[in-house]
Amino acid sequence: MSKSSDIKMVDAPAGVQGEGFFATKLDEVVGLARANSLWPLPFATSCCGIEFMATMASHYDVARFGSERMSFSPRQADMLLVMGTIAKKMAPILRQVYEQMSEPRWVIAVGACASSGGVFDTYSVLQGIDKVIPVDVYVPGCPPRPEQILDGIMELQELVKSESVRRRSSPEYKELLASYNIS
């Protein structure tokens, strides 16, 4: 059982502080809230999914990052974790799941198969999920250990914290989606 002295609070964003007030930018507050409440959608097709199960369990405890609330409904998730070999036949399904997620949404490719096809350099396997959807963080390994998956989530938290609230309506973001034929 943790003592209250063990509990670490998230650092406040940069801002101006005085007696009885604290002022900061909206981007910083929204980023802080989003980064510490990412709701995962596990798209697990093979062995890497087992590592994620360990990441969720008590020893590694993904709840420490505010991400214990798994969602199997794309509309109630904002962090898509793709874990495992994605056959080309499955690629349209993965893309459909991504499209059903509302903005802002982020993607982590967990392990070698999701990132690059892994050892399955063959006609039937998608050679990386970034062929069909944009990816924010790649986690290497076959399989990656739970520590690496947590490291990937922490990397994503840093991206989310520093993302402008206007990014999703920017021409650059629209261009990125257009390059995937996603409107």
Return d(Cα 99, Cα 97) in angstroms, integer: 5
Indicate which single residue of 31, 40, 84, 152 sits in contact with ligand SF4 (rule: CB under 6 A): 84
Interaction pattern, residues 43-82, with ligand SF4; x per rule: CB under 6 A: ---xxx----------------------------------
Q: According to the annotation, is 47 in a ligand binding site?
A: yes
CA dihedral 20, 22, 26, 30 (to 10 degrees): -90
| Per-residue binder mask for ligand SF4 (CB under 6 A), 11-50, x = binder | -----------------------------------xxx--
Answer yes or no: are the C-beta atoms of 111 and 141 closer than 8 Å: yes
Amino acid letter for position 21 = F
- In the list 40, 74, 143, 146, the residue contacting ligand SF4 (rule: CB under 6 A) is 143
In which element (H, E) is residue 148 found? helix 146-161
Q: How far is the CB of 143 from ligand SF4 (least distance, A)?
A: 3
User: By CB under 6 A, is residue 112 in contact with ligand SF4?
Assistant: yes
Backbone φ and ψ of 17, nearest 5°: -120, 145
If binding is defined by CB under 6 A, does position 108 make contact with ligand SF4?
no
Is 91 in contact with 114 (CB distance < 8 Å)? Answer: no
Tokens for 113?
């198969």
Q: Does 111 bind ligand SF4 (CB under 6 A)?
A: yes
90 counts as binding ligand SF4 under rule CB under 6 A: no
Q: Is 148 a residue that touches ligand SF4 (CB under 6 A)? A: no
| Alpha carbon distance 15, 99 (integer Å) | 36
For tokens 């093979």, name the residue.
46
Summarize as ranges the residues that interact with ligand SF4 (CB under 6 A). 46-48, 84-85, 111-113, 118, 142-143
**Residues annotated as binding site for [4Fe-4S] cluster?**
47-48, 113, 142
